[in-house]
Amino acid sequence: MTRVLLVDDDLELSAMLKEYLAQEGFEATTVADGEAGVAEALSGNYAIAVLDVMMPRLNGVDALRRIRQESRMPVLMLTARGDDVDRIVGLELGADDYVPKPCSPRELVARLRAILRRTATPEPTTDADEFTVGPLRLWPARREAQWAGEALTLTSTEFTLLEVLVAAAGHVVSKNTLSEKALGRPLARFDRSIDVHVSSLRHKLAPRDDGRSWIQTVRGQGYQFVRE
């Protein structure tokens, strides 16, 4: 069974989600505060962690920051509905996706499975063995990337997003296509997840010689990884 770590101080919700996850073939462990959540997450015993933003002792955003200092394990954030600030900060720090609360157990499971499909079974989005564009080298089957000969540290979502963009280098890829391939779901109205992940990628890739980013925004259409 796939082991899931639930970090949330809402004990009633955690118990309900744990029961539902068990019915769906997951083994869930619940923790009620961020400090204990970080310790559990870094134990190496879980395939994925679910972090609530609002928690005692250490909030979800700070817990995620600590986890990302040592681990690339997939993390799904639970955020208050309509709270864009926590959502964006979580994605910028390396969360793979988020679910607004209150959420249905069914939606949570769907998001978990979408993330785990990209990590537990790292099948490449394309058939290419390797991509080389400018200073970037990408190995889809190995889920590894280098920039100017140095290893790139990417979350699962960032890697898949970069892979899709590089496979179509020189051509525009719509945000909806990126959302479906990188997040496993259609792009929702007002959803800025793809924009935040692209922003994170831009910070990890040095700019071109002319100062521009390798990932260009094509207004009203999507994003394009430019060729040299």
Q: What is the pLDDT of residue 52?
A: 94
Residues 24, 114: one domain? yes
Residue 107 near residue 99, CB atoms below 8 Å: yes
Residue 157 within a domain: yes
Residues 85, 20: one domain? yes
Residue 166 near residue 132, CB atoms below 8 Å: no
Q: Which residue do the tokens 């949330």 mark?
A: 8
Residues 44, 22: one domain? yes
Helix (H, G, I), strand (E, B) or coil at 77: strand
Residue 125 within a domain: no
Helix (H, G, I), strand (E, B) or coil at 159: helix
Q: Kindly report, residue by residue over 10-61, the tens digit of the pLDDT.
A: 999 999 999 999 999 999 999 999 999 999 999 999 999 999 999 888 999 9
Q: Kindly report, residue by residue over 149-171, the tens digit of the pLDDT.
A: 999 999 889 999 999 999 999 99
Residue 133: its H or E element: strand 131-133
> What's this model's pTM, rounded to 2 decimal places?
0.80
Could you give the number of structural domains in the chain?
Answer: 2
